[in-house]
Amino acid sequence: MAEPASDSARPSDGATPPRPQIRRLSEGTVNRIAAGEVVERPASAVKELVENALDAGARRIDVAISGGGKTLISVEDDGCGMTADDLLLAIERHATSKLAVDDAGTEDLVHINSLGFRGEALPSIGAVARLGIISRPRGGEGHALKVEGGKLSGPRPAGTAPGTRIEVRDIFFATPARLKFLKSDRAEAQAVSDVVKRIAMAHPRVAFSLTHEGRTMLRLDAEAAADDEEAHLARLARILGRDFQDNVMPVVIEREGIAIHGHAGLPTFNRGNAQAQYLFVNGRPVRDKLLTGAVRGAYADFLARDRHPILALFVEVDPAEVDVNVHPAKAEVRFRDPGHVRALIVKSLRMALDAAGHRASTTVAGAALGAFRPEPQTLHQPPPQRHLMELASRSFAPSAPATHVPGMEDGHGSGAPAHTPADALAGFERAEARVEDTASTDDLMDRPLGAARGQLHLTYIVSETRDGLILVDQHAAHERLVHERMKKALAEAGIKRQALLVPEVVELGAGEAAALADRSDELAELGLVIEPFGDGTIIVRETPAMLGDTDIQGLVRDLADEVAELGEALSLKERLDEVSGTMACHGSVRAGRRLTAAEMNALLREMEVTPHSGQCNHGRPTYVKLTLPDIEKLFGRR
DSSP string, 468-535: EEEEEEHHHHHHHHHHHHHHHHHHHH---EEEEEEEEEEE--HHHHHHHHHTHHHHHHTT-EEEE-ST
Contact 377, 281 (CB under 8 A): no
In order of 73, 392, 636, the CA distances from 80 in angstroms are: 21, 70, 57
Asked if the peptide bond before residue 611 counts as cis, ω within 30 degrees of 0, the response is no
Q: 563-584 burial, b for 16+ CB within 10 Å, e for fewer?
A: beebbbbbbbebbbbbbbbeeb
Q: 117-144 burial, b for 16+ CB within 10 Å, e for fewer?
A: bbbbbbbbbbbbbbbbbbbbbeeeebbb
Say whether pLDDT at 56 is over 70.
yes
Say whether pLDDT at 424 is over 70.
no
Q: 24-43 burial, b for 16+ CB within 10 Å, e for fewer?
A: eeeeeebbbebbeebbbbbb
Long-range contacts, 567-573 (Cβ 8 Å, 24+) = 567/290, 567/338, 567/339, 567/342, 568/293, 568/297, 568/339, 568/342, 568/343, 569/519, 569/522, 569/523, 569/526, 570/293, 570/296, 570/297, 570/300, 572/523, 572/526, 572/528, 572/544, 573/297, 573/300, 573/526
C-alpha angle with apex 215: 38 to 175, nearest 5 degrees? 30
Nearest to 202 by CA among 285, 259, 291: 285
Residue 37: what pLDDT? 62
Cα–Cα distance between 497 and 503 in angstroms, integer? 14
Lowest average pLDDT, out of 10-24, 289-303, 434-448, goes to: 434-448
Lowest average pLDDT, out of 217-221, 398-402, 464-468, goes to: 398-402
The number of CA neighbours under 13 Å toward the Cβ of 275 is 8
Model pTM score: 0.68
Contact 145, 153 (CB under 8 A): yes
Say whether pLDDT at 221 is over 80.
yes
For 186-213, how does the pLDDT look when each residue is reduced to its tens digit (9 = 90+)? 999 999 999 999 999 999 999 999 999 9
- The pLDDT confidence band at residue 361, using thresholds 50, 70 and 90, is low
- The pLDDT confidence band at residue 362, using thresholds 50, 70 and 90, is low
Lowest average pLDDT, out of 191-200, 250-259, 389-398, 520-529, goes to: 389-398
Encode 217-239 in three state secondary structure.
EEEECCCCCCCHHHHHHHHHHHH
- Mean pLDDT (whole number) for 452-472: 86
**In a 10 Å sphere around its CB, with 0-12 CB exposed, 13-18 middle and 19+ buried, how is residue 631 labelled?**
middle
Cα 161 to the center of its chain, rounded Å:
40
Residue 401: what pLDDT? 37
Q: Output the average pLDDT for the chain.
A: 77
Percentage of the chain exceeding pLDDT 90: 21
Cα–Cα distance between 79 and 57 in angstroms, integer? 5
3-state secondary structure of 574: helix
- Between the ranges 98-107, 272-281, 302-311, where is the mean pLDDT highest? 272-281
In order of 269, 365, 607, the CA distances from 623 in angstroms are: 13, 9, 10
Q: What are the start-end ranges of the E strands in 295-360?
A: 308-309, 311-317, 322-323, 334-335
Contact 308, 277 (CB under 8 A): yes
Residue 477: what pLDDT? 83
Largest CA distance in the chain: 106
For 485-537, how does the pLDDT look when each residue is reduced to its tens digit (9 = 90+)? 777 767 777 777 888 888 888 888 778 888 888 878 777 877 788 888 878 88
Cα–Cα distance between 164 and 135 in angstroms, integer? 4
Q: What are the start-end ranges of the E strands in 243-364?
A: 248-255, 258-265, 270-271, 277-281, 284-286, 308-309, 311-317, 322-323, 334-335
> Residue 231 — φ and ψ, nearest 5°?
-65, -40
Q: How many CB atoms lie within 10 A of CB 534?
A: 11
The identity of residue 41, as a single letter, is R
Residue 33: what pLDDT? 66
- Between the ranges 165-174, 288-297, 613-622, where is the mean pLDDT highest? 165-174
Lowest average pLDDT, out of 371-375, 501-505, 611-615, goes to: 371-375
Nearest to 560 by CA among 525, 523, 521: 523
Cα–Cα distance between 128 and 149 in angstroms, integer? 5
For 76-116, how does the pLDDT look when each residue is reduced to its tens digit (9 = 90+)? 999 999 999 999 988 887 777 776 776 676 766 677 777 76
- Between the ranges 137-146, 294-303, 519-528, 551-560, where is the mean pLDDT highest? 137-146
Cα–Cα distance between 326 and 290 in angstroms, integer? 14
- Mean pLDDT (whole number) for 288-308: 81
3-state secondary structure of 596: coil
Cα–Cα distance between 521 and 530 in angstroms, integer? 9
DSSP string, 68-102: GGTSEEEEEE-S----HHHHHHHTSTT--S-S-B-
